[in-house]
Structure 1
Amino acid sequence: MKPIDIDLRLLEIFCCVYEKGSISQSSDCLHLSQSTISFHVHNLEKSIGLKLFYKKGKRYLPTSNAHMLYPYAKRLVELKQSIIEEIRLVSGSYKGHIKIGASSIPGSYLLPDIISRYINKNPNTKIDLTVEDSYIVIKKVEAGEVDMGFVGVKYEDPRIEVKEVWEDNIVFLGGPGVKERISLEELVKLPFLFREETSGTRRFVENFLRSMGVDVSVLT
């Protein structure tokens, strides 16, 4: 059996046609003419000696051979992209786009300086920072709408990797008429000024008060 030599570029084109199911859509995605894509697909089929697609109307439908090849080809294509990104990163020519979500405290006070210093070292990287309530940020991380989130609330979900990066102190502030030392019973009788219900800080304070036996629903 003669050795099989496969051009990685042909595998990239194959993966695109497999995913799109259309030469015309693949043409838009790859910025190649339809005739060029058809030529490369034919060359790949000739190289490996297997039929990969059959035409049905305007659709290019994968054969069982294509279903077998696709996961391996996709893995090689992704590995190539990872290698390119690592080389760009090491050489200082990395061009990336990072989407970050953050609640008000990290988003307004902690992250801007860190992001600024990072961009100074990596000028080709674009970073989008959106500041929203903690639980909105968490939902966006779950949905893949942002690459990472920074929030002021503990959250456990097997789908999300959670790491503690900061510690912060929360204190009660009172007006001039409030005693310096006050009991919990006296504290809960005072009017409270809370943040919005979806705030991580508010959730933390409410959970703390509940752990002390306080019915937070009666706080005003």
Structure 2
Amino acid sequence: MNWNLIKLQIIELIDKHKRITTVADELGLKQPTVSFHMKNMEQELGVGLFYSKAGKVHLTDAGQSLNHYAKKINALAQEAERVVKEFDERGSGHLKIGASYVPGTYVLPSILSAFSKRYPHISISLTVRTSPIIQEMLLNHEIDIGVMSAEPFQWAPLIGETLCEDELVFFFSPDHRLARYETLYPEFLKDVPFILHGQESTTRTMTLKWAKNLGIELRPVMEMDSLEAIKQAVLTGDSVSVISKIAIAKEIEHKELVYHVIPHNPFKRYIYFTYNEDRIRSSFFGNFFDYLRDSVRTY
């Protein structure tokens, strides 16, 4: 089959937008041209890749299989173009960074702002997602660098270099009855309203593993994806939750929240600087890593 990048871009964009007109506009093509490429791919492969439903275009199972590779190839093509162009742009370039919620919300914004002032010719984009999604983005060559909170991991070809520990703690309002105890024992939590993190959260996973190991049955009353929403719920109610100590540093300083270490907790979590060893690194990759490493020493 005579593949070209346009066809692979169409596959990926159809899956994203579900409309031929939107795909045509994004690629700068006419709608009949996009339709022609779609039909041509199906004829050459001898299998249906698309189907229409409720005015939208979807990928068949075969189309989804092709899209898995299309996304990888498209990302590699974009990476190749970027790397080659940087040789002729005298230190200018673009860093695509992905971060999990704690570093992406509470650590990176000030660091990226200061880095941009020092290196004004380098533009930066930051995507904040869960750690598993950031790992997938690194594997698919969609980002240059990942900064994420996670348990120790080995997932070739990803390289993870530890920046600092990301300690998880129990936290609650200063008026909460648990605040009067100097030590928080696991059995104190049995009948306390508990807020769980969202399904894909590594904090949720570690919390439930801890409770299971100790035979503690938590009493979840809410489930939230947003760290800020969890903080507000704890501030204004009688609930308890688990959070990164970094995420509540200001509230602790202002005595708006109190925390206790997690008792008998064998699980360690760290903030990692992560990258794909198969991805070509730009000339300023090392500059950013050094700057980031020096900056997080304060945490």
TM-score by length of 2: 0.40
Structure with max Cα Rg:
1
Q: Distance in 2 between matches of 1:156 and 1:214?
A: 30
* Cα RMSD for the two superposed structures: 3.1
Indicate the residue corresponding to 1:104 in structure 2.
101
Q: Distance in 2 between matches of 1:106 and 1:142?
A: 20
Looking at both structures, which has the greater relative contact order when contacts are Cα pairs under 8 Å and sequence separation is at least 6? Answer: 2
Q: Deviations over 1:81-122 (max 9, x none)?
A: 78x95796xxxx312111111111111111112112221122
Deviation at 1:149, TM superposition (A): 1.2
Residue correspondence of structure 1 range 166-185 to structure 2 within 5 A = 166-175=164-173, 176-178=176-178, 180=181, 181-185=183-187
Residue correspondence of structure 1 range 42-57 to structure 2 within 5 A = none
Q: Distance in 2 between matches of 1:182 and 1:118?
A: 40
Q: Could you tell me which of 203, 226, 229 is aligned with 1:201? A: 203
* Aligned residues with identical type, % of pairs: 27
> Structure 1: which 5+ residue stretches go unaligned?
1-18, 21-77
SS at match of 1:164: strand
Indicate the residue corresponding to 1:66 in structure 2.
none
Deviation at 1:174, TM superposition (A): 3.2
Q: Distance in 2 between matches of 1:211 and 1:98?
A: 41
Q: Could you tell me which of 165, 184, 187 is aligned with 2:189? A: 187
Indicate the residue corresponding to 1:140 in structure 2.
137
Letter in 1 for 2:193: P
> Structure 2: which 5+ residue stretches go unaligned?
5-79, 222-299
SS at match of 1:111: helix
Q: Distance in 1 between matches of 2:186 and 2:144?
A: 41
Deviation at 1:208, TM superposition (A): 3.0
Richer in strand (by share) = 2
Indicate the residue corresponding to 1:160 in structure 2.
158
Q: Distance in 2 between matches of 1:204 and 1:151?
A: 15
Q: Residues 114 and 85 (structure 1 numbering): CA distance in 2 closer, same or farther, change over 3 Å?
A: same
Number of residue pairs the alignment of both structures matches: 139
Deviation at 1:203, TM superposition (A): 2.3
CA contact (8 A) 1:134 1:200 kept: yes
TM-score by length of 1: 0.53
Q: Distance in 2 between matches of 1:107 and 1:195?
A: 17
Indicate the residue corresponding to 2:24 in structure 1.
none
Q: Residues 118 and 187 (structure 1 numbering): CA distance in 2 closer, same or farther, change over 3 Å?
A: same
Q: Residues 115 and 182 (structure 1 numbering): CA distance in 2 closer, same or farther, change over 3 Å?
A: closer
Letter in 2 for 1:147: D
Indicate the residue corresponding to 1:212 in structure 2.
214
Q: Residues 205 and 86 (structure 1 numbering): CA distance in 2 closer, same or farther, change over 3 Å?
A: farther
Deviation at 1:185, TM superposition (A): 2.3
Q: Could you tell me which of 118, 122, 147 is aligned with 1:150? A: 147
Q: Residues 171 and 113 (structure 1 numbering): CA distance in 2 closer, same or farther, change over 3 Å?
A: same
Q: Distance in 2 between matches of 1:183 and 1:107?
A: 31
